[in-house]
Structure 1
Amino acid sequence: MKKKELSSDSYAQMVPAVEQACKILIFLAKESGARPRLTDICKEVGIHNSKGYSILNTLMRFGLIQKETLSKTYSLGPGLAYLGSKAMEGMDLGAVVEPFLKALSNETGETSLFGMLSGEQVFIISKQEGSQPIGVNIALGHRFHMTAGAHGKAIVSALGPKQREEVLSRKKLYFYGDPLRFQKRRFEREMREIKKRGFAEDRGDLQHGINAVSSAVMGPSGNVVGSVILIGTFPEKEIARFGPLVAHTAKKISSQLSFGLNAS
């Protein structure tokens, strides 16, 4: 009996329903604040409502999406948070961010760091030294408070409203070094600017003579996992040039960690 030969790319072809389900999840991730309805989702993905309804019901069964009964809108489900956490467990974050930090340091000549958020602390788990004769020596494993300096501003600005208010209600905040220097109105003004520009800055507030630029890095479920930090004795005028580079680096790392969901 003659066996049927398969083309070399037979196993590489996509399954339409799986592809459509993936597109739905990506759309819901990008529209997390809007909570779209069935017709919005099907229009975006390019499928009939009946097909979309079946796919959505299947995704709901596994907890990957959830439906608001009254408004009949959809959003990502808790099952994705579990899958995302498992994916993160298997990732070596230091190895993931290393090439991005290297490229950033090569372009700026300054020291770049990645700080991983854990509880109320930010731990430096990866770094690339700059080429400047005078730099800042920060060892791997060094920890900062989550509200300290540029990285603190970047991280807290990227938190959800409830989490942010919880942090800002604490007695000691180190955004400007000494907690006594913190003024909520000042920080709120700066936070609006951070969200618009995509990066935060510290002009010697944390330590005199040392400037820093930072941008938050987001994980698969939209949570803050840490921040990219560029630090050195560089002139303040360089912040305008370095800031967008740091923001771009953080976006690329976020996209890598989130399997493309956070790509811009």
Structure 2
Amino acid sequence: MEKGHWALPESSFKTSVPAVEQASRVLLCLAESSQSNMRLTDICDHLGISKSKGHAILNTLKQFELIDKDPKTKTYSLGPALIFLSQRVLENLSYPEVVTPFLENLVKETNGTAAFGLISELHVFVIAKRDGNQNIGFRLPIGHKFHITLGAHGKAIVAFMDEAERAKLLAKKKLYFYGDSSRMDLQRLAEDIAKCQSVGFALDQGDVTPAGITALSAPVFAIRKRMVGCVILLGPFDASKVQEYGSKTAQAAKQISRKLGAHVDAIFPT
């Protein structure tokens, strides 16, 4: 079997503790597996380690309930101790603290206004923002509330919903992807969704934003592919910069998602 993403590089021992690194990679291997349980052979092949070493690591992790072993199938899965650890991480998580460095970098690269919107039912709340030097024509204060379907962020969010959730949202009477609900166009939206799924970001140019202002947005995920919010970038960008800045917006969303525990390679286009 081909070695996986978490296979051990030969040079890794020079800068880390081998035993800790190996145990960490075993846990990550189990977490990223498409199967809920894995055999010893599959784990060892995926990581490029011997069965004896893999068995020793798994037994040690089992002592601390970091993994479970099914005595019937002799397969391994993540253990209950990780629930406690993940709960403590979530308890200490502050979205503004996590996202602000990435927003600052996005502003530095584009000189636009960058914001993070947190999804709450049918709305998106701005909970973090950094301003560039360009006038976007309107205020975007912390705490501002948008409808979840509005403009660029609406298209970005709906594009990455699962099909059932998307269908439920699109069945609502009033949708604001193109500003006023009377301007809703399902065919146009389908095309915009397909493009967003391909490039990783959505845009609005004049439907919701003031004339001359472009809005770019990409979704943000946490653990278990749970969509939690979106990155929004606004500015009077030249047409030649839209694709570049859209990609930067998508990259910022991907970096934030990774920080929040999402397996980004399984969510975003490569």
TM range (shorter): 0.7 to 0.9
Cα distance change, pair 188–78 in 1 and its aligned pair in 2 (3 A): farther
Instruction: Write out aligned runs for 1:99-114 (5 A).
Output: 99-114=101-116
CA displacement at 1:28 relative to structure 2? 5.0
Is the contact between residue 38 and residue 77 of structure 2 (CA under 8 Å) also seen in structure 1? no
Percent of aligned positions that are identical: 38
Distance of 1:128 and 1:201 partners within structure 2? 19
Q: CA deviation at 1:103?
A: 1.4
Q: Secondary structure at the match of 2:155?
A: helix
Whether the 8 Å CA contact 1:214–1:230 is kept in 2: the answer is yes
Moved more, 157-166 or 192-201: 157-166
Where does residue 181 of structure 2 map in the other structure?
Answer: 179
1:174-196 C-alpha deviation (Å, 9 max, x unpaired): 21222233333332322221122
Residue 215 of structure 2 is aligned to residue 212 of structure 1: yes
Which residues of 2 match residues 2-41 of structure 1 at below 5 A? 14=17, 16=19, 19=21, 22-32=24-34, 38=39, 40-41=42-43
The answer as to whether partners of 1:159 and 1:223 remain within 8 angstroms in 2 is no
Offset at residue 121 of structure 1 (A): 1.2
TM (norm. structure 2) is: 0.73
Aligned counterpart, 1:88: 90
Instruction: Output the TM-score relative to the length of structure 1.
Output: 0.74
| Alignment partner, residue 164 of structure 1 | 166
* Distance (Å, rounded) in 2 between the aligned partners of 1:257 and 1:47: 29
- Deviation, 1:86, is 4.8
Following the alignment from structure 1 to structure 2, what is the Cα–Cα distance between the partners of residues 91 and 225? 13
Distance apart, 1:116 and its partner CA: 0.9
Q: Given the superposition, is the C-alpha separation of residues 238 and 13 from structure 1 closer, same or farther in structure 2, using an over 3 Å criterion?
A: closer
Unaligned residue ranges in structure 2 (runs of 5+): 1-14
Residue 227 of structure 2 aligns with an amino acid whose one-letter code is V
Give distance in 2, aligned partners of 1:78 and 1:235: 52
CA contact (8 A) 2:219 2:230 kept: yes
Q: 1:41 to 1:173 in 2, by over 3 A?
A: farther
Partner of residue 246 from structure 2, selected from 243, 248, 251: 243
2:80 and 2:164 map into 1 onto residues whose CA distance is 18
Shift in alpha-carbon separation, 1:13–1:74, aligned structure 2, 3 A: closer
Q: In structure 1, what is the Cα distance between the partners aligned to 2:43 and 2:203?
A: 38
1:7-66 superposed Cα distances (whole Å, 9 cap, x missing partner) = xxxxx97584x755643443355454x7785354442123567956x949x87x969789
- Give the equivalent residue in structure 2 for 1:129: 131
Quote how far apart the aligned CAs of 1:168 are: 2.3
2:225 aligned partner: 222
- Cα distance change on mapping 1:136 and 1:227 into 2, 3 Å: same
Aligned residues of 1:81 and 1:221 also touching (Cα < 8 A): no
Tell me what 2:9 maps to: none
Residue deviations 1:152-182 (CA, integer Å, cap 9, x gap): 1112222223322222232222212222333
The aligned length equals: 247
Alpha carbon RMSD of aligned pairs, Å? 3.7
Q: Aligned partners of 1:65, 1:237: CA distance in 2, in Å?
A: 53
Q: Distance in 2 between matches of 1:79 and 1:189?
A: 45
Q: What amino acid is aligned across from residue 212 of structure 1 in structure 2? A: A
* Contact 2:149–2:175 (Cα < 8 Å) also in 1: yes
1:51-90 correspondence runs (5 A): 51=54, 55=58, 84=86, 86-90=88-92
